[in-house]
Structure 1
């Protein structure tokens, strides 16, 4: 079923606010009926379906999937991932005043510089990828002799 613009606005505001009454007011329903309309809208299956679909879309956009994580770790290992670092750059400026005296002024300016990821970050990423590919699992061979019990004692009539 196709949603009306008001219903779609209600659903979007409901996702944002989490309050049906507030969402109904923001979507353009009257103040007097907002509470009833909000409850009514949430009971409609096609609106519930729309809200659920939108929540899944939002969730999938925000959360990195496994492939994205593996690609990021690989970039860190190869030191392709750049890190922003603030450095202080010192510079000096000289000039002569009206009397011919030389004046020098030193200025410190913060600048953002991009550098490759640190070696410790690379090592940690390599460790995580290694664990993912089970490269560090220890394989131990264990041989166990299992005793076999044979019930070859005849049963006597006394027992």
Structure 2
């Protein structure tokens, strides 16, 4: 992959706009139609496409919480280890920001979500019925409306 192709790929990753990325990587190109056509062609390049896919995977992993992280956060909220910011009045119309403990409703919601994850709250349904027979394709001619 060339340096210009790498610049194109890095610019493309910012907003997935091939035309804009191509015009930055190749500043001599002024027409959007030329940039769009060449960007489309570049995006079929196997090495470039592999680089973009690799970078997207890295970005996804850095930005997305995994299941373990979510469970740890919910546990810390439930246990009251998290705080949140709120406004307080300082007098004479002034306000400030302070940290307070997470409220009981938020802690209860976190406990509920954790309970659902661990299947602690399951509805038990007991169905007892006799044999059910369904006959398909039989029709009583007497009940047929004409």
Q: Same fold (TM over 0.5)?
A: yes
Partners of 2:20 and 2:110 in 1: CA distance: 45
* Superposed displacement of residue 16, structure 1: 1.8
TM alignment of 1:103-142, pairs within 5 A:
107-139=92-124
Is 1:6 matched up with 2:13?
no
* 1:64-121 Cα shifts (integer Å, max 9, x gaps): 111111111011101111110001022xxxxxxxxxxxxxxxx342111100100000
TM alignment of 1:20-35, pairs within 5 A:
20-31=18-29, 34-35=35-36
- Identify unmatched segments of 5+ residues in structure 2: 132-146
| Cα distance change on mapping 1:30 and 1:114 into 2, 3 Å | same
Partners of 1:17 and 1:136 in 2: CA distance: 43
Larger radius of gyration: 1
TM-score in terms of structure 1 length: 0.70
Q: Which has the higher helix share?
A: 2
Residue of structure 2 in register with 1:69 after alignment: 70
Residue of structure 2 in register with 1:151 after alignment: none
Q: Which has the higher strand share?
A: 1
CA RMSD across the alignment: 2.2
- SS of structure 1 residue aligned to 2:5: helix
* Superposed displacement of residue 123, structure 1: 0.3
TM-score in terms of structure 2 length: 0.76
Relative to structure 2, which stretch is displaced further, 45-54 or 15-24? 15-24
- Identify unmatched segments of 5+ residues in structure 1: 91-106, 147-159
